[in-house]
Amino acid sequence: MKRIGFLLKVKEELVDEYKKHHEAVWPEMLAALARHGWQNYSLFMRPDGLLFGYFETPHGFQAALDGMAGEEINAKWQEFMAPYFEMPDGAHADQMMVELEEVFHLD
């Protein structure tokens, strides 16, 4: 199992609204994540909007991203969530994720 960490930046003025949307993620989106090996997925956020994401996958980061890229529901979710992130116009958060290097792990 590969452990994945990544950072994104939510616009500080939209943090509360972003959190609200994650209280009820669309069931179809949750099912798509599960289909493509996104397990033990968590998001953590500072008050200024810096977001740390973590998930585990048997397939590796790029394979997990590629699988989701083929899901229509993911395209809809990314379009819906795009205004919340600090990133270039027209980009989606899943295109801006950069895998962090794991430098320590304790089981």
Count of structural domains, the chain: 1
The verdict on residue 92 lying in a domain is yes
The verdict on residue 37 lying in a domain is yes
How many other CB atoms are there within 10 angstroms of residue 89's CB atom?
Answer: 5
Phi, psi of 29 (to 5 degrees): -70, -45
Indicate the SS3 state at residue 101: coil
CB 18 within 8 A of CB 94: no
User: Can you give the CATH number for the domain in which 6 is found?
Assistant: 3.30.70.100
- Give the domain extent around 70: 2-96
Question: For every one of its 107 residues, what pLDDT tens digit does the chain have, with 9 covering 90 and above?
Answer: 999 999 999 999 999 999 999 999 999 999 999 999 999 999 999 999 999 999 999 989 999 999 999 999 999 999 999 999 998 776 778 777 888 999 999 98
The verdict on residue 105 lying in a domain is no
The verdict on residue 103 lying in a domain is no
The verdict on residue 58 lying in a domain is yes
Question: Which residue numbers are catalytic?
Answer: 22
C-alpha 64/C-alpha 62 separation (Å) is 5
